[in-house]
Chains A and B, each alone.
Chain A
Amino acid sequence: MENNLEIVTIDTEIGTEQLTETLTETKVEDESFLNFVTIDVWTLIFTWGNLLILFLLMKKFLFKPVRKMMLDRENEVKELYDNAERSKADAAAIKADYESRLSNAKEEAEQIVKNATRSAALKSEEIIAEAHETASGIIARADKQIEAEKRNAENELKNEVSSLAVSIASKVIEKELDEKKHKELIDSFIEKMGDA
């Protein structure tokens, strides 16, 4: 306690003066203390300076980087969620698109089938009509041909019959018959027969 110097530095001026005095006095011992309860202006100023410096250093080395990291992560998570949400919406839109396209396609297919059926029906009708036409043409031609054949056959038959009749008649009557005259006669007869 003897070493302890009584300095109550409530008054700054006097306090520091006393302090300097006592310090020069006690330089030899190199042990000087402030009072237990004292307001030392220099300590006060140092306290302010120290707290300010610590504030700045902690802000730079601790709060800013940690805060930045936390906010970055928060943003990233938010972004991820946003992206997921957006992808979900996209997927839903794509799905709706596909569904509408699918139903369109169904309709289209139906239309195509209907068209195809209709055109096929038309075509078949056409083909059938054509076939009919061709067939009737063929039939007509055949009829004509038959008619011609018939006529030919008739003519031939007529010739055959007349010559047959002449030969039969000549056989019957023996040589008295003028073949030429009689043939004409028979022919006219057959002609009359045929007409009848």
Chain B
Amino acid sequence: MNGPKIMFEIPIFGGIPVTETVTNTWIIMAFIVLLSIWLTHDMKKVPSGKQVIAEKLVGMLYNMVEKNMGKGYVNFFAPYIGALFTLSALGSLSSLLGMRPLTADFSTTLGWALLSFMMIQGNNIRCNGIKGWLKGFIEPVPLLLPINIIGEIANPISMSFRHFGNIAAGMVITSLLYGALASLSAVVLQWIPNTFINSIPIFQLGLPAILSIYFDLFTSFLQAYIICMLTMVFVANAGSEEAARGE
């Protein structure tokens, strides 16, 4: 199984490789932005059609962020979580169109997890001060310092590997399945004395679609939901009650 293909190189700094992941991200971003523009185009006081959907989605997102984090975080985190969720979900779902999913690249999920990690620590420092933040590592007893540090560092690692692992495993299993079904087709069809008919992988029809409901549709949304939920909960937990209320 290959990693992401290097599509081209930007000839600065000794050549910056631009991988399939990045180009696919751009395609998906363009799609999301066009979709956003289309959804918000020609909005009216009395909503109808697509505007109802747009308002429903945005309303749900804002409610979810407010419920999980508090009023004080809504202004920044609702759009951030919205962008992250959309990019993650559509990035994973892009495998349905035969594109390599962005989230099957560990660099992508690690990037998102590191952003979450920085936001968690940043919010902790913002609310408790550097002293309070450092003090948090020796609580409840100083003996737990290494465990606390490992606990903090484990967050982005587990987050990124969970997301990457689920999508990548789905991709691997799907391709293994395709290979296996092709072999099975060849074995079953070998009695027919025609090389063209022999080469038709008939079993590839149907069965992978059923599995793809789990591996593509379900996992894509689930993993997007998980990384967003964890980011929200960890960031809000790192901050104080006052920050949650927006004071």
Residues of chain A having any CB pair with chain B under 8 Å: 4, 16-17, 19-20, 23, 31-48, 50-51, 53-55, 57-59, 61-63, 65-67, 69-70, 72-73, 76
Contact A36 to B3, CB < 8 A, known contacts A47-B25, A58-B83? yes
> Which of B6, B47, B84, B87 is within 8 Å of A23, CB to CB?
B6
B240 within 8 A of A: no
Contact A23 to B107, CB < 8 A, known contacts A46-B22, A61-B37? no
Are A50 and B25 in contact, with the CB atoms below 8 A? Answer: yes
A183 CB to nearest chain B CB (Å): 131
A-B contacts at CB below 8 angstroms, number: 146
B148 CB to nearest chain A CB (Å): 25
Are B112 and A63 in contact, with the CB atoms below 8 A? Answer: no
Are B4 and A33 in contact, with the CB atoms below 8 A? Answer: yes
| 29 pairs from A and B in contact (CB 8 Å cutoff) | A4-B2, A19-B6, A20-B14, A32-B6, A34-B4, A34-B5, A34-B105, A37-B3, A39-B107, A40-B19, A41-B107, A42-B17, A42-B18, A44-B107, A44-B114, A45-B111, A46-B21, A50-B26, A51-B87, A54-B33, A54-B86, A57-B36, A58-B79, A61-B36, A61-B40, A62-B82, A63-B58, A63-B79, A69-B47
Are A55 and B40 in contact, with the CB atoms below 8 A? Answer: no
> Which of A23, A33, A53 is within 8 Å of B3, CB to CB?
A33
Give the chain B neighbours of A31 by CB distance below 8 A: 5
B71 CB to nearest chain A CB (Å): 14
From residue 14 to 73 of chain B, which have CB atoms closer than 8 A to chain A? 14-19, 21-22, 25-26, 29, 32-33, 36-37, 39-40, 43, 45, 47, 51, 54-55, 58-59, 62
B80 within 8 A of A: yes
Are A51 and B26 in contact, with the CB atoms below 8 A? Answer: no
Give the chain B neighbours of A38 by CB distance below 8 A: 3, 106-107
Are A66 and B40 in contact, with the CB atoms below 8 A? Answer: yes
B120 within 8 A of A: no
Cα A31 to Cα B22 with chains together (Å): 16
Cα A20 to Cα B109 with chains together (Å): 24
Contact A54 to B87, CB < 8 A, known contacts A46-B22, A59-B79, A62-B40? yes
Are A33 and B25 in contact, with the CB atoms below 8 A? Answer: no
Cα A69 to Cα B59 with chains together (Å): 11
Are A58 and B82 in contact, with the CB atoms below 8 A? Answer: yes
> Which of A20, A33, A57 is within 8 Å of B15, CB to CB?
A20
Give the chain B neighbours of A58 by CB distance below 8 A: 32-33, 36, 79, 82-83, 86
Are B111 and A44 in contact, with the CB atoms below 8 A? Answer: yes
Give the chain A neighbours of B80 by CB distance below 8 A: 55
B110 within 8 A of A: yes
B234 CB to nearest chain A CB (Å): 17
B159 within 8 A of A: no
Give the chain B neighbours of A42 by CB distance below 8 A: 16-19
Give the chain B neighbours of A65 by CB distance below 8 A: 40, 43
Give the chain B neighbours of A39 by CB distance below 8 A: 106-107, 110
> Which of A48, A53, A59, A69 is within 8 Å of B29, CB to CB?
A53
Cα A61 to Cα B26 with chains together (Å): 17
> Which of B33, B36, B55, B111 is within 8 Å of A47, CB to CB?
B111
> Which of B2, B14, B55 is within 8 Å of A66, CB to CB?
B55
Are A32 and B18 in contact, with the CB atoms below 8 A? Answer: no
Cα A41 to Cα B114 with chains together (Å): 12
